[in-house]
A and B are shown apart, each in its own frame.
Chain A
């Protein structure tokens, strides 16, 4: 997926809030399409997503799976749909804060909203559209008794800085692509590297599996399968783990300083649940098919994250909801402006980047 035009905030921008018209929480298909509809009304958008790339579930869970119910596309791969949406909204120059989770929502004195992420990035907008799907994707944590005690003290679910592991004794658990990829990456950095997985088979790209096999043969990686980490040991920092072979019940004690469980991500509604919004069945209640506003005026919920009588969690419904939401946000931002819907075929698409798309004019010429 092309991410070259995405703007990640750099550290010196963090103190300065990002300002926009509509702040969209969640960069899945619904959030992305909202940028297009907002752009037609000359409204600017900025998106926040906990994942490092846009596309939401489509990119994270099933980029290579086909979808058959996008109007006008008999079949489209989820990843291609995201690429197409990114292309479609490009003229409207959306901003992105990726890899950060929207944590707090505050209303300012002038009626605008301030949304702050878990990394402290601040965003100010006249309207907020929550397009958060099932919530933000959080790492799935293994069920170990004293896991919390060692979080950030030898246990991490995401590898942020590989250099941190240089010269350390590390154990990775998991059998998917990220476990394989990080095993390959850390093999040269860590002093000792162990990979445990509950099965003998790994599911991941074939060349990753082969590479790990090669590292194992070279003695650079210790592989323990089928096995799982069953206990953590240490005082203030992790000092060791117990690994249990699931076939023989043999228990192995390992001295390790760092444990990285990589069991994939699962969506959690998370901090959104504390934004003072009405929640029903793990979704945000909105006014039925009017403008998808929540109980907080100026805060909308669109796509899979909302609920109302008759709700269907379909991408195509999310597109519709995004479109109506934008109309309402426009009225909120410009209460005195008169507006009449214009078809793109008639009005064309004028980007904020100076680009202009329009239907070719018919040639009027006499045939002699």
Chain B
């Protein structure tokens, strides 16, 4: 399957268009780590269980509606900082073909 393209604005404000594989069960947190766009140890601390907010990102532009958060995610974000209406946990969004062209920004480290 073909990779999709995702635009990631890192914590320094630098933007990166990256190729994201859709057949590896990869989530956005892992995608960021695989391209080392955030320092190791500052993202994905809980490993992707929605139990920390280190992978919080803002959905800047999405081809599909990504506004719905899971219950665990909603609870975690309700205790996190720098949360905005378009905040999501990167670990809860999986790279799928329909996300081609997605644009996200990484939230600051809290």
Nearest residue, chain A, Cβ from B78 = A199
Taking the complex as formed, is B2 at the interface, i.e. its CB lies under 8 A from any CB of chain A? Answer: no
| Cβ-neighbour of A175 out of B42, B54, B79, B83 (below 8 A) | B79
B46-87 contacts to A, CB under 8 A, are 46, 49, 51-52, 54, 74-75, 78-79, 81-83
B33, chain A: closest CB distance, angstroms: 11
Residues of A within 8 A of B49 (CB): 61-62, 65
Nearest residue, chain B, Cβ from A283 = B41
A282 touches B79 (CB 8 A): no
Nearest residue, chain A, Cβ from B41 = A282
Nearest residue, chain A, Cβ from B42 = A282
Complex: A278 Cα to B49 Cα, angstroms: 30
Q: Determine the main DSSP class of B at the interface with A.
A: loop
B51 touches A61 (CB 8 A): yes
Interface residues on B, range: 10 to 19
B26, chain A: closest CB distance, angstroms: 17
A174 touches B45 (CB 8 A): no
16 contacts between A and B (CB under 8 A): A61-B51, A61-B52, A62-B46, A62-B49, A65-B49, A143-B81, A143-B82, A175-B78, A176-B75, A199-B74, A199-B75, A199-B78, A201-B75, A203-B75, A282-B41, A283-B41
A-side residues, CB < 8 A to B, are 57, 61-62, 65, 134, 140, 142-143, 174-176, 197-199, 201, 203, 263-264, 266-267, 269, 281-283
B-side residues, CB < 8 A to A, are 39-42, 45-46, 49, 51-52, 54, 74-75, 78-79, 81-83, 110
The 5 closest A-B pairs by CB, nearest first: A282-B41, A281-B40, A203-B75, A199-B78, A198-B78
